[in-house]
Every structure is written in C-alpha cells, then in structure tokens.
A and B are shown apart, each in its own frame.
Chain A
Amino acid sequence: MKRVLSLLLVVVMLLSMAACSKEAEKPATTPDAPAVAGNSGKVTIWAWDPNFNIAIMNEAKARYQKDNPNVEVEIVDIAKGDLEQKLHTNLASGVTAGLPDIVLIEDYNAQKYLQSYPGSFADLSGKVKHSDFVNYKVGLMTIDGKVYGVPFDTGASGFYYRSDYLEQAGYKHEDLVNITWNQFIEIGKKVKEKTGKKMFGFGLDDGGLMRVMLQSTNQWYFDKQGNINMANNEALKAAVKAYKDIVASDIIKPTSGWNEWVAAFNSGDTAAVVTGVWITGSIKAEASQSGKWKVAPTPRLDVAGAVNASNLGGSSWYVLESSKNKDVAVDFLNKVYAGDNDFYQKILIDRGAVGSYMPAQGGASYAADDAFFGGQKVYTDFSEWMKKIPSINYGLYTYEADSAIFSVMPDVYSGALSVEDALKKAEDQLKNQIGK
C-alpha cells in the first residue's frame, strides 16, 4: 500500500510540476527585445546534414566568434524533413517561443514559406549586398521587391562521367560537351554496347532530372504569373518524352531511392551521373575511382532557348522576424556568408560546397585542379555554368506538380497514355488540388 501511495505521489508531482513550470516560464515568453547591436547574445540555427551544412555552419561560427567572442551560437542538427515539420508546426501554431533565429530552407520551398507565413521572416533588403550573389538565387527569395534571405549553396548541375568507360566507347571530352539529351541517349547505347555498363542510375519516380531538364529551358510547371503550364508546355512535353525515351532505351540501371542511386555509381556499374554539384562528395567517397571521373556541362533538351546549364537543389539562410537577436543574426550571416572570401575557399576544399557568392569564385580553391577528376578544374567549370543557369521562379507548388506528373508516369512508360494525354491528366489533377 505504501508503495502504491508513493507512486500516486509521483504522478501528482509530475502534474503539479507541469502546472508550476507554466507559471515560472511565463516571463520568458514575453519578447522584451534586448537586441543590443553590441554583438553579444545568443543565436540559434536550424540546419540539416552534419557533414555539410552543419559542418560549414560550425566553420562560420568559429570565424565569427573570433571577432565577436560574446556571441553564443547554437547550431541544431535536424534531418531535413524533420526540420520542415518542426518549422511548419512552430510557424502555424503562431507561437514564436520555439523558433530559432536562423533557419536553412531549400530553394524549392522558399516561396512557399515566405507566402504561407507572411511577416515571419525578416526583410534583409538593404542589409545584405545581394548583388554579390548569383542572380537566380536572389530571385527565389524575393517577394514584391523585398529580399528575405542570404543565398547559400548552389545546385549547379553537371554531367559527371567515367572517362575510362567513355573512352572505351570511343568518346573524348569534346564529344560530351554541350550535347542534347537525344545525343546523351545515343552515347549511352554505345557505352552499353562497348563496355556492357549502363549509362546511369535512374529513379523511375524521381522528378529530380525533370527539374534539371526544365530549368535548362527556362521553363517550369508554371508560367511567370504562377499559373499552371503543363498540357501546352513544349519544354515539359520534351522532358516527359526524354524520360520515356531514356526508360525505353535500356541504358539505365533502375534505382529506387537515394542509396541505390548512389550505389549505382559508387559500385562502378554505371558510367555517368547528371545532377547537382553537391553530389561531388558522394562520388569522391569511392577513392578507388580517383582519376577516372570528369565533368561535362549538363545535356540540354532539344527546345528553343535551352542552354547547357541547369540546377538541382541548393538552399539558403533565412532570419526569423521573431528573433530576439535579429541584428546579431543578420550581422553573423553578413560578415561570413556575404563577406568572407576565405571562408568560401575553405568550405569548398573541406566540404565540396559551392557557394553562390560571386566574389569568392575568383579564389584560389576554385582555380585548383582536382586529381580525382583527372586534373580538371571542376570548380572553375561549375562557376562558369552557374552564371548561365536560367533564373526561374519555382513558385509555390513545385512538389504538387511533381506529384501530379509522376502519378501518371507509369502509364507513359507503358504506353497506356500518350505524352499529351498524360500531361492533360496531370494538369487536371493539379488544378483540382490547388484550386486554380
């Protein structure tokens, strides 16, 4: 009986503790905004990927604290999907107590956050010199002329290939520069014939490559006004057609999900990868393939206006309006991400991170040749391609559009639906969903 009572007591205690801390915590939630510009205080940052964004942020923190020893910086490592859940829950509940000062947001989602939660992010126009950054990145964080973030890494894309396999198939680097996707398929067939290797790992329900194809044509699932543009979008038709041709041509190793896709090139089973520059680290992880890789410009679609440069992914830093140390947070981003040239050289060497800060691209690290890529100055090449990436406003509904298109793709592959009919069906579905 005694034990029972003590257990009950524990429960009651727990409950009363809950009630007490309600009282105790109250003052802390009232924002009394100390925000002294004397650069002290605490800045909390949310980001994902311990070996990339987090590691880079730690470097930035070390640099900033050298001059501002009184600023405390806490970097919280949260998985990307988790971070989005957390951010949505916090923003949607209207409670600011749990929000960080700085948060990392993927470019495709930027407009969605900015427009869904108006007033939640700090306007940085005039506070950060945005003209120093690559144009397309700044466009993604702008609403009504106000710029809301500090651009970070780029997803400039490239056509990574195994020079040994392609040589065996009779191709030199010049043959692979500025090609179209049709040529790419032909090359793939030749590679298959001569080496027995598949051209690349390919996710049948992965929209990544379609985004690469579309952006190279300066088109998107939506027009510049944000209206759905699918059924009559020539670029999109060409992209869907390219997907169909690629699948039909037997040059792919079908993969499902990230790991299988990475394994496809790490294992040496495939000859190429077409994706964003952030994949460099994963390619280099297989050290035994050193010297066997090279990078060519991204293939383009056979559509008027298409260029051999595109983008996949990339993200930027945003400051929350509710931040108690907003000025310090902005100063931190400004000093390091919009001013420290040497920082960008260091993160490129250490982490393979290609920033979108243009003054840094004349630096020594960008000009270095890379033995893994047979001495090619890959980062010089990527910076060149980066400048040619068409500036696209992804709008609010990229993920919805992806989902609509890829729910009809199995029928496109099997031939049950023509490309036109499939796009019509996807467009109807999307219209119904987003109500436009």
Chain B
Amino acid sequence: MKTKKIITRAFVYAFLIAAFVVSVFPFYWMLAGMTNNAIDVIKGKMTFGGQMINNLKVLITSHNLTGVLANSFKVSIATVIGTLLVSSMAAYGFEVYESKGRNRSYAIILLSMMVPFAALMIPLFRLIVRFGLLDNHLALIVTSLASVFLIFFFRQSFKSFPREIIQAARVDGAGEIRIFFSIVVPSMKSTYAAAAIYAFMTSWNAYLWPLIILQTDKQKTITLLISSMSSAYFPEYGVIMAAIVVATLPIIILFFALQSYFVQGMTGSVKQ
C-alpha cells in the first residue's frame, strides 16, 4: 500500500516536471534571445550572449518603449476594472434572477459570441468612426466592457454559489445590490482573479481591433509595436525578443499576484 502510493507520487511528479520543462523552455529561449543579435537568434542559438543592454537601448530610444507601454497599461487597466464590474453584474442578473426574457437575451448573447470578429469589423469600424472615437483608446475600452466570454464564465461560476446564503441575507434585510457587492463578490475571489487575468491578457494582447482603430504612432500599444518590428525584410530579432519579454512580464506578475486566490478556498469566507 505504501509503495504503491510512492510510485503514484513519483508518476505525478514526473508528469508535472515534464509539463514544467515543456512550458518553460520557450520562455527560457526568449530570455536568451533578448541577449543575442538577430543573426544568432535566427540560427537558433540557445545560450546567453552580451547584447541585452544594446537591445534594450534600441527598444527604448528608437521604438519609444515607455510611451507604448503607458498606452497598453492605460487601456488594459481601464478595461479590466470596467469589464469585471459590467460582466459579473450581468452574469449575476442572469443567474440569480432567472426570467424568460432574460434567458432569451442570454441565449442571443451567447450565440453572438460565435460570430467571427472578421465579419463584424467593418460595421463596427463605421460605428466607431461615427462616434468620433477613431485613434482613441476609448474605442478599445468601450467595446470590451461587456464581454460575452466573461458573462458566460461568471454565470457558470455563480451556479455553484449557494442560494441559501442569498436567501439568508434577504431575511436579514440586506438590499439586493448590497448582497451582490458585499456578500457574493468577496466570496468569489478565485473566480474574479481568473477573470481579471483573462481580461487583462485579452486587452493587453489585443491586436486586430487596436490595429484598425489606432492610427498614429503616438497611440500605439505594445502588440502593434512587436508586430511592426517583426515584419521587416530583416527583423531585428534580438530587439524583438527584448520587446516580447517586456510585454510578457506584466501578465506574469499579475498571475503571480493573483494566484494566491486559487489556493485559498472559498469555504472560509462564505461561512463567516
């Protein structure tokens, strides 16, 4: 019995370590790439070189890295805050106050998520121009405030939230809005954390829509910068890798910061 347990454990760790190596290797390669010049990157050099300072310098001086990062942060942070609020409220509305009308609109929304973005681009573009939001970061934010994906995700997560708690709060005389914000939201931290990571990532990595909406270099986000750098006849891969590392760090930091919520159970906070 004991040996069987040890063997199972060994398998589990072997599996985890394999997944770890496969997942991390490309990241190691990106880090190595940012310290090499373009030719070495193309040739597939896997060791660290001495070009890091140089690459970063090019990135900051000739590609306006700070300005670009500021744009990306501005858009992403505004989007995350807005969309968590709007989407989770909607999901709560759909799940807790079920009614025929709302279920019908929910079905329509879900269905609309399935339309490929390419089909909507031109009408949406016309709309944004009519609103006068061309080349404006607001155009990126307002269009992603209500995320069907997040509404769907929140609703699926709210399904496991015990209704008795809501009932009990009502009996205690708490208002509906108050129940949501001071009872439901705090006890669904892991869901909000996952949603925040998702929302931040989507906004930070958004590509097609910013590409079409943003017109000037001044407004550019980090994804657009990386894309334009890599389309050259002879791409400066060392610098591109540096840009990619810089672009990836914020998401990793956010993930690190929020992952503690995945560990913490929700039971504790619900019970109190």
Contacts and interface: CB of A to CB of B under 8 A. Distances in A.
A417 interface: no
Nearest to B63: A50
A21 B131 CA distance: 7
Contacts of B234: 51, 262, 281-282, 285
Interface stretch (B10-18, B97-105, B188-196, B223-231): B223-231
Interface in A175-191: none
A4 to B, nearest CB: 5
Contact of B132 (A25, A49, A82, A90): A25
A22 interface: yes
A98 B181 CA distance: 42
A183 to B, nearest CB: 29
Contacts of B43: 263, 266-267
A7 interface: yes
A36 B227 CA distance: 36
B110 interface: no
- Which of A14, A24, A89, A90 has most B Cβ within 10 Å? A89
Interface string B130-148: 1111111010011001000
Contact of B230 (A79, A93, A98, A281): A79
B181 A4 contact: yes
A79 B227 contact: yes
Nearest to B37: A285
Interface in A1-42: 1, 4, 7-8, 10-11, 14-15, 17-19, 21-26, 28-29
Interface of A is mostly: helix
B141 A89 contact: no
Contacts of B216: 44, 74, 76
Interface string B6-42: 0000000000000000000000000000000011001
Contact of A98 (B177, B215, B224, B233): B215
Interface of B is mostly: helix
Contacts of B125: 89-90, 93, 95
A80 interface: yes
Interface string B155-189: 00000000000000000000001100110000000
Contact of B38 (A11, A28, A285): A285
A50 B229 contact: yes
A22 B130 contact: yes
Given A82-B231, A281-B233, A18 B131 contact: yes
A81 B227 CA distance: 10
Contacts of A82: 211, 224, 227-228, 231
A352 B38 CA distance: 18
A262 B228 contact: no
Interface in A336-373: none
Contacts of B44: 263
Nearest to A96: B129
Contacts of B246: none
A278 interface: yes
Nearest to B132: A25
A26 B228 CA distance: 31
A49 B211 contact: no
Interface in B198-251: 208, 211-212, 215-217, 224, 227-234, 236
Contacts of A48: 228, 231-232
A397 interface: no
Interface in B43-59: 43-44
A74 to B, nearest CB: 7
A118 B129 CA distance: 22
B252 interface: no
B228 A86 contact: no
A406 interface: no
B82 interface: yes
A28 to B, nearest CB: 8
A78 interface: yes
Interface of B: 38-39, 42-44, 78, 81-82, 85-86, 121-122, 125-126, 129-136, 138, 141-142, 145, 177-178, 181-182, 208, 211-212, 215-217, 224, 227-234, 236
Nearest first, the 3 A-B pairs at minimum CB distance are A25-B132, A79-B231, A49-B232
30 contacts: A1-B177, A11-B86, A11-B145, A14-B78, A14-B82, A19-B131, A21-B136, A22-B132, A22-B133, A29-B129, A44-B216, A48-B228, A48-B231, A49-B231, A50-B228, A50-B232, A52-B233, A74-B216, A76-B217, A89-B121, A89-B122, A89-B212, A93-B122, A93-B126, A95-B129, A98-B135, A98-B215, A279-B233, A281-B233, A281-B234
